[in-house]
Amino acid sequence: MPEHDGLMRIFWPLDLPRTHSPGTIVGWRNSGLDVFVVGVLEDVDARSVEGALKVGTLFRSSSHPIERIFGLCEQSTMHVLGLANIPGSEVDALQIHANTGPAYRLPLISCARASTIQIVMYDRPLPTRMQYISLNPISLALSDKAGMVTHLPGSVDAQEEQEEMKAKNKKELLVEKLKLHTVSKHSPSPKDEALPKIVNQINCSWEVNKLLQNNVSLVGRRSRRTLSVSERVVESATTMLEIITLAVWEVLTLYMYPVVRRGFVIGLLCHRVVAEALLLLLEWRPKPDYAALKDISATAQQVEIRLQQFCYWPMQHVTLRKRKKDWESVTTNHPDYIRFYNSLWLVANDVIIGIALGSYIIDNAAWVAESISEILRLYSIGSLRNTIAWLMGWPAGLKLNGELATFLGDLFLWVIDHWSNCVEALRPVLPHLIWFIGFSSFAGASMPIALFSDLLSILTLHIYSFYMASARIYNWQYTILLSLFQLFRGKKHNVLRKRIDSCDYDLDQLLLGTILFTLLFFLLPTVVVFYLTFATARMAIIILKAVLDTLLACLNHFPLFALMLRIKDSQRLPGGIRFELRDTQTIMTRSSNKEMPLPTSYISLKSVPLTFRAMFHQYFQLGHRIRSHYLSPLVILCLATGKFVPPIHRKNLYSLQYSMLPARRAGIMDMWNVLTEQDPAGLKRNVYPDFKVNTKRLNGNVRRYHH
């Protein structure tokens, strides 16, 4: 192998014992001078270890097939990498010799073929605690949503998306151009390419080391001492207990467990069928571009999210169960684990808060209903009526057109009167409604919030219609004024060429147009004040609903479990790796009495925990989207000209809530297959692994007696 640079790279675990006892260093050899140390087997001969590794004695009684580990580490076998603490011994040219006495803070390593040495010291992540390291930050959201929903052409969101795409393409072009600036392309060396492999080796190293240390007694010189009588008594007593528990366990698993399990699966499936029916109802659209029920109502959407979660959980759980059939070092399912428990925990939290809220609402239903109807009467009817009355009589000294103001005001007041009658009719029902909302909150605090949001939309329907009506009138007047202004200037708008042309009008046309223009212009302020009033009221309601939606998003999506993990054990949320150059001056001076063989750098490898910013990444994204939508010039233009302000697309607004759910939910048959296929394997697994675990524990005890 062309190792022209003479650099030896050694990955060295930090938890190796610092003793003088001689040993054999075992690990993976990724390429000639690139080695990964898994462990040091003490007091055994290197040659016998080599043989044991070939035959597989050292991998005996592993809980899972060792080939899986070999596959993960992309190696066909483990190697003897060198010797530890045997001064003056003969080692191969490629093998290393390490001194790890208690006097040295860091191991001293030499190798015949190397000219410089890099020692990367790593902490073994504990797979039993689900710690692991990864090169890329762990993703808390499911990432299969790309390009799922497309916008209708011509809508504001489609335009926004187009602009986004344009900016993206521009940037891609720039990136392509930047590639041309690279003078020479360096082909990566085997050491460069080994990094992903090494990350897997680090993740596996704890379990492999444990397995090796368990089996080290099978190798080499040490003979097995027979057990003493007392030890034998203890062992037979424990095995007797094991046998009895095993028998009871077998009876339970053979006769009771399948029945219970089958019942449970059937229950789940019935639930799934009902959920499917409800989901179909919620997602049904009369025409492809019409809104479905879940798009209109917050409650329907909340129900839909919950149902989707219930559909997804069994699948997720089965995936997580499969984890137990494999080595703990396999880290592919850890993000799934975090997502699963995060959603479970959020639902549990939601229900707990909901029970508290619900019992409060039910206890005080009459008072709550009374205050709500009071607030409604005061703000949505009383103050609106006062404002309109104020606008009718020259508000703030503005001399509006009295007749038009009276006309418009009377119109709106008349509708308000009718509406207040309707609300009065609703009043006796309100306590029951509130009671119902309170009762619904036993399904989670998000339910009453969603219901309240819907109730708010219904009870302020009149404001919405006022806004629509006044916006329409204002928009008409605005467009008429624009075209009459062109006439006033002697020009006209050419529709075909989309430009302003000069035009020779007749005298009567000009006269009539100018008179109409003057009239409409003087009537404009009156319409504007009415439009502004209702637009402001509408905005206030939208903001209130946005607050409720944010609350819902927090209840449905907050990364609670991830935050807890970050505080409890940040190693479980890896956000990348970090290297730290250790100071080596002291080591150099300490070992100066012998000849200092090679320039060596000591580097420690650490895992970087996921940043809080990355955890809340989606919230930032949502905030950015809302800002770019509602503060865009287009929306402000719409507002100024009285056009209908397009609401932000629901895909953008609620992508946060769906980010933990798959884009396409699994069908009923899929679920049935997944839940039943595992049956025979599951049964077998339940009987045997326990036995294995126990024997392993016994082995461990036996080993301890040897020492």
- Distances 589 to 110, 372, 595 between C-alpha atoms, Å: 17, 80, 11
Q: Is 600 near another protein (CB under 8 A)?
A: yes
Q: Minimum CB separation from another protein for residue 599, in Å? A: 4
Q: Closer to another protein by CB, 90 or 192: give it.
A: 192
| Rounded distance between C-alpha atoms, residue 504 and residue 495, angstroms | 17
Q: Minimum CB separation from another protein for residue 178, in Å? A: 6
What pairs with residue 580 in β-bridges? 604
Q: Minimum CB separation from another protein for residue 611, in Å? A: 8
Binding mask 221-260 for another protein (x = CB under 8 A): ----------------------------------------
Q: Is 610 near another protein (CB under 8 A)?
A: no
Torsion, Cα of 471, 474, 479, 481 (10° steps)? -170
Q: Closer to another protein by CB, 53 or 111: give it.
A: 111
Structure tokens at 22: 């001689």
Q: Kindly give, in sequence order, each residue whose CB lies less than 8 Å from that of residue 51, ignoring residues fewer than 6 positions away.
A: 57
- Distances 254 to 63, 248, 257, 687 between C-alpha atoms, Å: 23, 10, 6, 9
Closest CA to 107 of 97, 92, 95, 115: 97
Per CB under 8 A, the list member of 5, 92, 424, 501 interacting with another protein is 5
Q: Minimum CB separation from another protein for residue 205, in Å? A: 18
Per CB under 8 A, the list member of 71, 101, 188, 623 interacting with another protein is 188
Q: What is the DSSP string of 123-191?
A: PPP-GGGT----SSPPP-S----TT-S-PPTTSHHHHHHHHHHHHHHHHHHHHHHHHHT---PPPPPHH
Q: Minimum CB separation from another protein for residue 18, in Å? A: 21
- Distances 363 to 359, 371, 538 between C-alpha atoms, Å: 6, 14, 33
Q: Is 677 near another protein (CB under 8 A)?
A: no
Q: Is 179 near another protein (CB under 8 A)?
A: yes
- The sign of the torsion formed by the CA atoms of 175, 177, 183, 185 equals positive
Per CB under 8 A, the list member of 61, 77, 89, 116 interacting with another protein is 116
Q: Closer to another protein by CB, 386 or 586: give it.
A: 586
Q: Closer to another protein by CB, 22 or 597: give it.
A: 597
Per CB under 8 A, the list member of 93, 146, 175, 396 interacting with another protein is 175
Q: Closer to another protein by CB, 192 or 289: give it.
A: 192
N residues, the chain: 707
Q: Is 4 near another protein (CB under 8 A)?
A: yes
Q: How many residues bind another protein (CB under 8 A)?
A: 40
Q: Minimum CB separation from another protein for residue 598, in Å? A: 8
What pairs with residue 36 in β-bridges? 11, 28
Among the listed ranges 300-308, 536-544, 602-610, 622-630, the one in contact with another protein (CB under 8 A) is 602-610
Q: What is the DSSP letter of 661?
A: S
Q: Minimum CB separation from another protein for residue 193, in Å? A: 6
Q: Which of residues 55-114 bind another protein (CB under 8 A)?
A: none
Q: Is 599 near another protein (CB under 8 A)?
A: yes
Q: Which of residues 132-161 bind another protein (CB under 8 A)?
A: 135
Q: Which of residues 577-596 bind another protein (CB under 8 A)?
A: 577-579, 581, 584
Q: Which of residues 34-53 bind another protein (CB under 8 A)?
A: 34
Q: Is 181 near another protein (CB under 8 A)?
A: yes
Long-range contacts of 536-544 (CB under 8 A, 24+ apart): 537/384, 537/463, 537/466, 537/467, 538/463, 538/464, 538/467, 541/456, 541/460, 541/463, 541/464, 544/456
Per CB under 8 A, the list member of 182, 226, 502, 592 interacting with another protein is 182
Structure tokens at 540: 């206030």
Among the listed ranges 80-88, 116-124, 147-155, 671-679, the one in contact with another protein (CB under 8 A) is 116-124
Q: Is 427 helix (H, G, I), strand (E, B) or coil?
A: helix
Q: Kindly give, in sequence order, each residue whose CB lies less than 8 Å from that of residue 553, ignoring residues fewer than 6 positions away.
A: 622, 654, 656, 657
Per CB under 8 A, the list member of 193, 283, 363, 374 interacting with another protein is 193
Interacting residue ranges for another protein, rule: CB under 8 A? 4-5, 7, 9, 34, 116-118, 120, 135, 171-172, 175, 178-179, 181-184, 186, 188-189, 191-193, 195, 576-579, 581, 584, 598-603, 608, 611
